[in-house]
Structure 1
Amino acid sequence: MKKKNKKLRKISSIMAVIYSATLLWTGQASKNEKVIYGADEGKIKIEYQQQDINEIPDKYNTGTKGKLNKFNPVFNSAINYYTITAKNSKDEDVTLYLKLSGDEVTYYVDFSYAENKKLSGEIILSNIDFGECSLKPNKEDNITDNISLVYKNCRFEYVSTSYPDSKLKSKFYNCSFYNFKGSNAYFERCAFGGKPNDALNPFRNVEVKDCYFSNMNHYLPKDTHVDGTQIYGYAELIRDENGDPILDAKGKRQYINPLDAKNIKFDNCRYEIPNIVYEIRPEDIVKDEEPKVATINACLMVQLEYSAGYDIHFSNCILNGGGYTIYSHAGRIGTLSDISFDNIKVGAGRSYGVIYPDIDPDTKINNLNATDSLYIGSAFKENGILKLSVTNDTARDRKLKVITDKGENIFTIKAGPTDKTLNTPGYETFDNMPFDILKQVPGDPKYAVCFDVTDPNNIKQIRFFNETKEEVYIDKFNSSEDNVLLSGKCGFKNADVSFTLTNDYVLTIYGNGDMDNYHSGNIPPWWGYRDFIKKVVIEDGVTCVGAFSFWDCFALEEVVLADSVKQINGKAFKNCITLSEINIADDVKVIEEAFVGAFKYAVANGLYQNEENNNTSDSKASNTVKNNTSVDKKDTIKINKKQIKVGSIIKDKKTGFVYKVTSVKKGYKLKLIKCTKKSKIIKVKGKVKIDGVNFKVTSIGKKAFRTNKNAKVIYIYKGITNISKGAFKKCKKLKKVVVKNKKFTKKYLRKRGLSKKVKYVIAK
């Protein structure tokens, strides 16, 4: 019984570590849980985190290692086959029989040959450099039992497999590729890249785990389409008797027999593919012509061109680069469904934006965050020296602090590339990029705790190396006593507008007049803290939010605007991908593309360019903000056999409330715009059911209560997040307002037209 309890305690301890690490990785832990604290005389106990349990992929822990043997099949003239020796799962020698194709590069494992038909289980090939050769299965319909061709520590240039479903699966462990194209494959700890082409083109039944994609940005003498991963489906090319493609009347290739892209899964993969010019060769330069550049379209591109696609999922990935980092859109033929991007971190190296603007509405993106700290992939020892593979995907220089049993070490890690720093001195080649920089910690330490200490108020534990079985405690970090991190002026043409940034990462703009407009030559003064700013408060007196003011503030979640703000200039909140709450009155002028890239806010609020305003350059934020959520204008719901879409007006006959539809996506949303019944008590609830359909009521319009002049008490329940200016005007008999959202302070309601004579109550 004691042995059993001891075993259970051990399992519980392991599960607790994994659970704590999972919270950190998924973002469920609070700010104070970024480092797991213990109690030992004022010290903190160091715990393992997700990146310790499952290492982030880098160039040291993926791909081939050591000396490889050259691929050298032996020709057997008696049977007209090449042969190569492999191993089975019992470590016994087995022979593969190969046919050489006409290009004298591709070797086919011919499963119609009698000896190959006898193969079963796993056939293992290890430590082989295939060079320019490719090993490809052929005639797989002859396979009667499930077979796996397993490659361990092998190097390839280009690999492809048969496209349909098959009983043959290809498995790759610690292999290196320029490109893989095909189906029925599994990859683990593999490295992709090295030439300017798509690194991976999966068709169906493909799983990719712990893999690294990088170094694809080489120079070519012509424009090149390059993605880290592109999924475009599959169809057979129609060819004539000579094997040449048959073209249609417009000169385009024709395809038949499409196969849906499906069952494709990525987990814990990393992409470093910023768009750069690389290796410009003199022989490729044409006189009086600009050199062409290899172009990156996306880290992850899902664009169905030949067939439909579904059951495609990416999780726990780190992405840095691309024109748009994530592209998900049904192409000219296929449709797209059941696709998700979960728990994705995005670096600053992209050229245009995080998400392609016309993203497919069936794409689900959950927990998308900016990479706001250093991270470490490999941690290993050589000759008593601890080596750390450190990467900086952010746009500012960062500091790494390593605390060991021998002392402390501080390193400065150069800022990562951005759209502004690419193609400038210091970033001409991939090798110049600050990816997987090896930092050495001497002294043969028994343990090392690594922290990003770039900002003393946002210290993050990023790696724990421990050779001992003992618990490790270190001194607590001392936070800065100064509450203000940064302050200064930010007014347009010397307008009296200033700002303060406090150590809780709240940026407050105050004064009188317009904010300044920013651009690449005039960056916002808080630019260096853009990875950390979580809340922006613009106080009464400020009249305009300047262009690009909060551009790339990835951590920005909430914005509070005073009623004095009458205009939001272009791209003010560009790429604020975690912004989910901002109160914009109906009379605020929102310049086109003010919220481009504010993906989470768009999803949360159902904002998009409404067909009523397609021809206007300016639009109200309540229904026409242009951003990266493309909602099909045909999306509708049915109520009493009537098609209801965004902008439709519906009435709840039970209460007399009139609503405007703000979203018809899952969790239909409404804005209360009118109360027609003359009730003395008005209750605005966050959830309503109208004709059998459940809705969420999230906002109250500017004339919502004017039509009910008999109202004496108004209750505003949880779920309501915004009340427009003027909502309470002309409510002359109103005596009391009861709110269940602490955001709606007395001051907030006064600015919405609530008389000072009306009693204000906050209820639980």
Structure 2
Amino acid sequence: MKQIYILLIALLMGLSAKAESSGTCGPNLKWHLTDDGVLTITGKGEMYDYSPWGSSIKRVIIGDGVTEIGNGAFRKCRSLTSVTIPNSVTTIESSAFESCSSLTTVTIPNSVTTIGDNAFSGCSALTYVTISNSVTTIGGSAFSSCSALTFVTIPNSVTTIGDGAFSDCSDLTSVTIPNSVTTIGEKAFSSCSALTFVTIPNSVTKIGEDAFTNNLTKIIWLTNTPPDGYSNVQGSIHYVANDMYTGLSNKKVYPYLSSIFEVDGIKYVPVSPSERTCDAIDCTYTGDELKINKKVNYKGVDMTVREINPYTAYSANIKKVYIENGFTTIGVGAFSSCRSLTSVTIPNSVTTIEYGAFSGCSSLTSVIIP
């Protein structure tokens, strides 16, 4: 019996030793995988497509000298939680990290210029992505079905957002599109059900079909000339600079829309610069108490706030709202879906609370109506 036990131990030790493996993954690249799931890639040059390691990888360390992460290189590595991409990498090929469902964060270095189609598609645990200023193209479905992704900042270097690039990112609440982007592909942000606010910059000339499909999204159009395909964009309200946007419903025209500014977490649009008036149109404030004042000061200039517009603070992460005396109307859906909101104080000057102003405020326990 003792001999059998010793033999089993020797066999198990042999299996453990065999768990470490190595090989080549490019003309001049080598890989080494430890028995605890750490994969290290060394050498210089490009990686092969669809590399040979299995789904047991937990961490990847890519050494300086690797220039390209090949097609499907880490596809379906479902145990992979972290990856270090060095500054030598210029291209992340198609499906490179597709369906890596445990991957939580990714930093794309300044050397990368192209993120291929489906590169991070199906990374359902990915909550945060840093895209460097060197990237010019975000490929089709590059981040599609990243259901935990909440916020994306696209750098000024990007000119094209591919078809379905961020489609089905169900937790995505905010996206910043820079003034370098000229094309937003078909279904680029379709089925992003939590997306509440989008600014279309003046550089955009083409928008694909169903690029934005959430009827509750607030769209600010900084383009003076409507881009090709603009009428396909769905939203709760459209802020536009002129009457050329004939194909949009529920729109408000602000000739000075390009002069939008922010003070204490609220975005305002000038109505009449000579009269120094503006309207509150969006809330970026996150904290305990949001204060909407009748006067704001921006760069030393005092301005009077005329209206609290429809959907101003839609789905904002706020707990209390204080509205200063002087406003007469609280717009349609102004504070709707503020699920953390617990109390509201409405001033004596308010005569009208529009429909849906506080709908979906599931934590609201106290309201003072004058």
TM-score of the superposition, structure 1-length normalised? 0.26
TM-score of the superposition, structure 2-length normalised? 0.48
